[in-house]
Amino acid sequence: MSENLFPSGPWVGFYNYSGPKDKHRMSLHLSFAGGRMSGDGNDDVGRFLIQGRYDAASLECHWTKTYPGSHDVFYRGFREGKGIWGTWEIHDGCRGGFHIWPRAAGEGEEQTEELSEPKPAEPVAAFAVSEPRP
**113-127 confidence digits (pLDDT tens):** 443 344 444 444 444
Q: Is residue 37 part of a domain?
A: yes
Residues 6+ apart with CB under 8 A from 87: 75, 76, 77, 95, 96, 97, 98
d(CA 9, CA 54): 15
Distance of alpha carbon 36 from its chain centroid, rounded?
A: 21
Count of domains in the chain? 1
Q: Is residue 26 part of a domain?
A: yes
Total-model pTM:
0.76
CATH of the domain at 73: 2.40.128.120
Q: Is residue 121 part of a domain?
A: no
**36-76 confidence digits (pLDDT tens):** 999 999 999 999 999 999 999 999 999 999 999 999 999 99
- Find the domain containing 80 and state its range: 2-103
